[in-house]
Structure 1
Amino acid sequence: MGDGIRAHILAIVFFLILAVLLTWPVAITAGSALENEGDAVLNAWTLGWDVKHLLSPRALPHAPNFYPYPYTLYFSENLLGAALLAAPVIAATGNPILAYNILFIGAFALAAAATYLLVWSLTRDPEAAVLAGVLFAGMTLRFGPSPQLQVLLNFGIPLSLFFLFRLFQNGRAREAVGLGLSFALQASISVYHGLFLLFGLLVLGVERLVHSRTPRRAAGSRLLLAMALAGGILIPILWPYVEARRYVGGRSLGDQAAFGLLSFLLVPHGHLYARLPVFGEIHRYAHVETLFPGWVTLGLAAVGLLRRRSPWRRPFALLTLLGFTLSIGPALRLRLEDPPLLTGMPYLFLWMAFPAFQAIRVPARMFVLAQLGLAVLAGLGWRACRSSLPRARRVFGALLLLAVLEAYRGPFPRFPMPTSASALDTWLSQQTRETPFVEFPTLRTLDLTADPISLSRLAHQQFSTLYRCQPTPIGYSGFFPPLFWEVADRLLMFPSREGIAFLSDLGVRAVLIRSEGWLTGEREAFEARWALFSHVLELVQEGPEGRLYLLKPPRPGNGSLPQLIGKAEGERLWLFLRWPRGSRLGRIALTPPRYILRWRGEGRDGLIERTVQGALPQALPAYVTLLPLTAIPMPSGISRWEAVLHLEPGEIGRRSFPPLPPLELRRISEPEEIAATLPVASGFEELGLEFDNGGLLIALVRSGHAFCPGEVLEFTLFWTVTDAARWRTQEATPVVFVHLHDAHGRMAAGRDLPVDFGSRPFREWKEGEIVMQSYRLPLPTDLSPGPADLVLGLYPIGRPDAASRWAIRSGHIPLREPGAAQIARVEILPTPCQAPEEPFP
């Protein structure tokens, strides 16, 4: 065995030992625990699903989370490249937790080894290569509050650069094949890193074409070969992301994590430097990404940059500059909470020019290119200064030891994962018919980022689909589709009249109530509501671990189609869609149903025509049978009118019942009908509350008129905009507050939600467009029987005080106090009582 091979083997063994030590104690709990209960659970679930379906490409994209959406695997990183690496472990053990932890540990060794290969090929210096490998892998391990698998598995970046430089050195086809395969592998592990690597390869490819001695035509043909190979592999792998974007959209610049320059001085809390005064001071600010490269990296990279002996100084200086500049994001700040020092950074151009950047959540991850550039420059720096050092071996050992210490971020926490399925899980897995389920306890708030417990529950319930073999409408992912929030809001207060009907219409069949996992007071509140509705569900399994219920099948008559009706009111004509009670067709859609409404009126002044375009809500509550479309000005003297509605329904996804077909609804009103006005279903209560910010609350629909204490009061509001300029120029999002005052006049319950919750951002509302917003208000169990009043108002977000409320400028509804109107009265029933068998008679 030659010295070179022996050095390579020793380097790999060294990296493997370091990987185990730096990730300790992951190795001793690899089969049963993860380092967090969020992203790590998501990654392990993704690996398990991928490996199970690698040979079933049609089923692979449609994971069991966020039912009934398709392409749900692609709502986050699909990790297909990582699944190929994990497949032998999962095939042998059936344990995705073990496979995840092996990759978690091995990611350091893979990144270090790939960087070692790159630097050794450039310098033929094993010491420089080992040092660069440790530095690059160590910077990756320190990234973020808890590194994700797709961030750690970045070995394809240095490996791709290795093949790129080899291609320009000898121009052989096998280097082009290696470049195409390594790029495809990295992009299939992490689309983020594949995108970043693409821009790194473009910059370095141009640099090599300009400065390399290889004939440009030969190098260009080899690069085209690499591109064709990578494209042929990646197009079928990545195309489902295009399909998934139809459901989840992209991220605006405001949704992408802001960046502060102080992040370059931030280290993890358990790091060697975390207790030093300067680093401790930085931890006081709201930074997330820990990007400090380390003193060894910075010192040696500076030497490598200043020494002009190496021809590789220029390309890796460019790579460092590219990664540093783009990682700043669209605006330069000192701290996250500071206003921008400079806007219009280069990243902004990428975000506008390339749609793929609109999926990115953390632009700072592009610093991986700078990390690799700095690590290689550090290796070059060591090679340049070693000959001038009197005791180079000792200095190298000291630098390597310090590099290892700088790579250590502290012990990783361990959270146990379930290792066996319960009897309830087994019952679900044995169902031959698809049985979508929900599980309790579940999320506790809609503000998921502020509640780790809710995120943990979502992640664990999604992971359970691997052994329950059934889908669920909730999930944990990089993107949350619109219907998730409709589901989540109902699960917060489940069971309720509309909540049960909604889940049934969604296709959910099973409700699992676990015995464990509840927080103090949480179980009692849930069981109090459950007692009101236990007769509506069928108990099929019970044991020490919990209970399992089935929802009763939907009522017959669900195939009825909606109708177009109208109601004349003064000089306005209201046009509605009326759903027959019990109809489930078109009530829930994955994409908004679109419509075009054309109206023609004949009168003394001739023919009047109006055209209205819009979208229906994606989730129409079961108690809403009348949906207003528009109010058309109708002058007196109209003798006849005709309305034609073209309705293109939204997608129903993976649900089994027939979809709503495309419809053309027509309504013609003759003179006698106009004089009498058309009938409108009861339950649609007009309000006409005009607020000083340009908003108009048109009407209210309630789920009932009498409720039990402990039940959920559900109602739907219909909004429109009367002054678009004033509405869109509001500095803060309007928040709707709803208070319930009991029979004694005391406020007994309340809830505040942004006015655009469950709909498009409020600044996108058009003047005259009608927007629906559903509300759920939990009633206290000790609520006094008798009449109770619903009181509503608006205030700018962050200023809930009475003085900041928007004034109510008009309306026939009485004001309870300034800026608060009494919109409805409900009856609270005496206890004991039970929710009705038919919730919406």
Structure 2
Amino acid sequence: MLRELALFAFFLLVAIVLTWPLATNLTTAVSDLGDPLLNTWILDWDCYALTHTPLHLFDAPIFYPAKFPLAYSEHLVGIALLCLPFYALGFAPLTIYNIAILLGFALSAYGASVLARVATNRFVPSILAGFLFGFVPYRFGQLPHVQVISSGWLPLLLAALLVYRRSPTRLHATLLAGAFVMNGLTNIYFFLFGSVAIVLTIALIAIANSHDARFWWRLAGALVVASLVLLPFLIPYKIVSSEYGMKRGEEESLGASATWNDWLIAPKENAFYGRIADEEQRHGERQLFPGALVLFLTASAWLLTPLTLHPLPAPRGEGRGEGPRWLDALIIALAFVTYIGAVTKEIHLPWLDFSRAYVPATLLVICIVIRLAIRFPRAISDGNLRTAVSRSRFPFELWAAALWIVIGVLGSLGMHAFFHNFLFHQIQPFHAIRVPARWAMIAYTGLVPWSAAGAASLRRRWIVPLLFAIALVEVWPRIRWEHALVEPAPVDRWLAQTHAGPLIELPINRLNVLYLYLLRATTHHVPIFDGISGFEPPLHYVLREQPLTDATFLLLERNGCRFVLIRLEWFGWQAPQAIAWMRKGIADGRLAFVRRFDGGIAGDWLFALTRVEKNWRRFHVASDDAQLGRMLGGQNTYTDATFGQLYQPKHMSEIAGAMVVSGWALSPHGVRQINVLIDNARVRVSAGLFAREDVTRAYPWYPQTPRPAFAVTIPQRPKGVPEETDVQIEIIDGTGKRTLLPDVLITWK
């Protein structure tokens, strides 16, 4: 046990090093302000629900009043279970998310090392194989998706099945069931993909060896019990799919289906391979290159594994007759039908649509496997698949791993090949698969035993440290972290205290803002109409797409919305339309002003929908009414907090040579200092303060800040700062309190 803990700690240390400086910025760092914020919210809600209302886990407080909003994306319960201790200790939501990222890397590497040991019984080669799987380049290209990072249950699932095959005890059946459950609770994609791979591996076990009835009953019982445990976590997906039609179209899945060329492309986050491919060859989540070393080790295992020297007994049935002729005829017929279906869409039969060649192609493969399991064609051999496995120089574990490689590669081709195409059209849960390219993780799992076997076949001692050095160079990433503003806004603290909901936050038509709403929602867990996920319900789609009109009031009132929360500055050029909508709502008596909260530059404005919320006056702050008049008149309002704006550099801008940083900041306590934080705050540069009459006139309430403008010119990119980096402004007010402006990503050449 101590050795296992030490090994996991080693992989966790490697994860910390390769993602550095994430470990020192757990509270703020994300790969981007999109899906990481969604997954932060999901993990936070999981932990909250599991500790408060576990029977209402899927009744998440977004997309109100839609049914089971948690089922619109991955539920991540398996990851949340591992993070519950950190939640109980009071860690912040984003901190828990980043801990999950680090644990996901470490668990993936550790799980792969276990699989490699099961296959080879060699410790050091297994560590290398675990390293290559846990930190495969593809994983760093998936940093926004913690559920993809956390794929350690796939190798543990295969390892558990292989151990059960050797020793079919109750304990090993229980371990298999446990791995199956945790894989299903962690990632729906990997649950579906892993289930298919396990079923096909069980078929290979049946072909390769004879087992008694108890073996099969115990195996079936373990998988049935595991499936029953998972059933409550799967039913909500079926319900929302039926009720809202939440399924993927062929075109959407086609766009995320890999090609053979994608298997040669590494993500740009890889420091070694990431610069090789042209940008036009990169396709989102389809950058699947596993690295040259794992391919070299796999080839080494194939070429250097010695032949079996001891004679093997002839398996049952060897040397008897021929295979059934009718099966040969069926194979020929299916091959012809597959060819016709692949080249034309003009022929249709009632029982078989030629345009869907994946059906005959799948049947063709099944028939070929059955034919080979019965008897090889005489021209090939006088045996069958069982004799081939038993006489092979490779153990069964490598045969099973090879099967996973084939499954993963074929599956990753998605709608370009028959395998996933058949599953997509014939098995309903696969309709939800947006990214077939993620089948690649099944192939990576299959490469684990082969890479360990390859490393074990290289006998010279000096080779092992060389392989580890090459592996480190090969997987070394280049990650640009972005920093979220995680300090809860005053309105979010107020919502946490009053539970004043359901409410809608506006604007709702800007996707980047919707992610920020989810991060804010981790503070209060109040039902909101807003949300962003893998799917969206019809009501939310209408609210997001239509302009603010009387129809908006009607929709909100009919669906039980009590409050409207508006951050005007996020409307951008649409702010005048939002003000006109508020004016009309107040004039018609449908909207009542409740109060203003400090937040950003223009503040957060809370209104009540009077036809639903009758008792809104209990929250009304009359002293804010004057502020409302200024806001509705298009004027600035007073903020009793530090705030500011960065003019230069712009987000995602490219800079050559000197970088000019400029903007302004105001505070009721005065501004003592402005610091420019570069590259995760590793470099700090003080900016000069200057008077700016236009800012002072626009915000006349801050005599303590006579010099609101700041500017500094940095002549060149500081040493050690990468080209792709970040810039953030730190404001120190007169009391010494620190306020951060939104992080800005730049490319500085």
| TM-score bracket relative to the smaller structure | 0.5 to 0.7
Among candidates 208, 223, 229, match of residue 227 of structure 1: 223
| Inter-CA distance 377–183: structure 2 relative to 1 (3 Å threshold) | same
The answer on whether the counterparts of 2:257 and 2:412 sit within 8 Å (CA) in structure 1 is no
How far the C-alpha of 1:425 sits from its partner, in A, is 2.2
Give yes or no for the alignment of 1:510 onto 2:563: yes
Secondary structure (helix, strand or coil) at the match of 1:271 reads coil
How far the C-alpha of 1:275 sits from its partner, in A, is 5.8
CA distance in 1, matches of 2:278, 2:523: 46
| Aligned twin of 1:527 | 579
| Aligned twin of 2:402 | 317
For 1:238-290, what per-residue CA distance to the aligned partner results, in whole angstroms no more than 9, with x for missing partners? 211111212242112122124332211222223223465xx332644545322
The answer on whether the counterparts of 1:75 and 1:478 sit within 8 Å (CA) in structure 2 is yes
CA distance in 2, matches of 1:51, 1:352: 35
| Inter-CA distance 544–463: structure 2 relative to 1 (3 Å threshold) | closer
How far the C-alpha of 1:6 sits from its partner, in A, is 7.2
Among candidates 111, 121, 130, match of residue 133 of structure 1: 130
Among candidates 78, 87, 112, match of residue 115 of structure 1: 112
How far the C-alpha of 1:217 sits from its partner, in A, is 2.1
The answer on whether the counterparts of 2:114 and 2:159 sit within 8 Å (CA) in structure 1 is yes
The 5 A counterparts of 1:186-585 are 186-212=183-209, 215-245=211-241, 246-256=243-253, 257-274=256-273, 276=275, 279-281=276-278, 283-308=280-305, 309-311=393-395, 312-331=397-416, 345-384=418-457, 386-387=458-459, 392-422=460-490, 424-431=491-498, 435-443=501-509, 454-490=510-546, 493-494=547-548, 496-514=549-567, 517=570, 519=572, 521-535=573-587, 536=589, 537-545=591-599, 546-553=604-611
Amino acid at match of 1:91: A
Amino acid at match of 2:237: Y
Secondary structure (helix, strand or coil) at the match of 1:512 reads strand
CA distance in 1, matches of 2:142, 2:96: 22
The answer on whether the counterparts of 1:437 and 1:471 sit within 8 Å (CA) in structure 2 is yes
How far the C-alpha of 1:397 sits from its partner, in A, is 1.5
Normalising to structure 2: TM-score of the pair? 0.65
How far the C-alpha of 1:92 sits from its partner, in A, is 1.0
The 5 A counterparts of 1:630-649 are none
| Aligned twin of 1:771 | none
How far the C-alpha of 1:151 sits from its partner, in A, is 0.7
| Inter-CA distance 194–466: structure 2 relative to 1 (3 Å threshold) | same
Normalising to structure 1: TM-score of the pair? 0.59
Amino acid at match of 1:261: W
How far the C-alpha of 1:532 sits from its partner, in A, is 4.3
Give the fraction of aligned pairs with identical amino acids, expressed as a percent: 28
Secondary structure (helix, strand or coil) at the match of 1:200 reads helix
| Inter-CA distance 19–525: structure 2 relative to 1 (3 Å threshold) | same
Secondary structure (helix, strand or coil) at the match of 1:393 reads coil
The answer on whether the counterparts of 2:285 and 2:437 sit within 8 Å (CA) in structure 1 is no
The answer on whether the counterparts of 1:538 and 1:551 sit within 8 Å (CA) in structure 2 is yes
Amino acid at match of 2:611: P
The 5 A counterparts of 1:670-685 are none
CA distance in 1, matches of 2:461, 2:160: 30
For 1:484-538, what per-residue CA distance to the aligned partner results, in whole angstroms no more than 9, with x for missing partners? 2111023xx32x222222222222221112265454x343553355444443421
| Inter-CA distance 12–209: structure 2 relative to 1 (3 Å threshold) | same
| Aligned twin of 1:836 | none
| Inter-CA distance 80–293: structure 2 relative to 1 (3 Å threshold) | same
The answer on whether the counterparts of 2:125 and 2:452 sit within 8 Å (CA) in structure 1 is yes
Secondary structure (helix, strand or coil) at the match of 2:461 reads helix
The structure in which a higher percent of residues are strand is 1
| Inter-CA distance 544–210: structure 2 relative to 1 (3 Å threshold) | same
CA distance in 1, matches of 2:400, 2:39: 34
CA distance in 2, matches of 1:554, 1:518: 25
Secondary structure (helix, strand or coil) at the match of 1:67 reads coil
Aligned length: 517
Give yes or no for the alignment of 1:100 onto 2:97: yes
The answer on whether the counterparts of 1:435 and 1:509 sit within 8 Å (CA) in structure 2 is yes
User: Aligned Cα RMSD in Å?
Assistant: 2.4
| Inter-CA distance 34–259: structure 2 relative to 1 (3 Å threshold) | same
How far the C-alpha of 1:539 sits from its partner, in A, is 1.1
The answer on whether the counterparts of 2:65 and 2:529 sit within 8 Å (CA) in structure 1 is yes
How far the C-alpha of 1:470 sits from its partner, in A, is 1.9
Amino acid at match of 2:250: L
The structure in which a higher percent of residues are helix is 2
Could you tell me which runs of 5 or more consecutive residues in structure 2 were left unpaired when the two chains were aligned.
Answer: 306-392, 615-633, 635-749
- The structure whose RCO (Cα within 8 Å, separation 6+) is larger is 2
CA distance in 2, matches of 1:243, 1:304: 47
Could you tell me which runs of 5 or more consecutive residues in structure 1 were left unpaired when the two chains were aligned.
Answer: 333-344, 444-453, 557-709, 711-841
| Inter-CA distance 71–460: structure 2 relative to 1 (3 Å threshold) | same
Amino acid at match of 1:15: F
For 1:280-315, what per-residue CA distance to the aligned partner results, in whole angstroms no more than 9, with x for missing partners? 326445453220010101111112233444303321
How far the C-alpha of 1:207 sits from its partner, in A, is 1.6
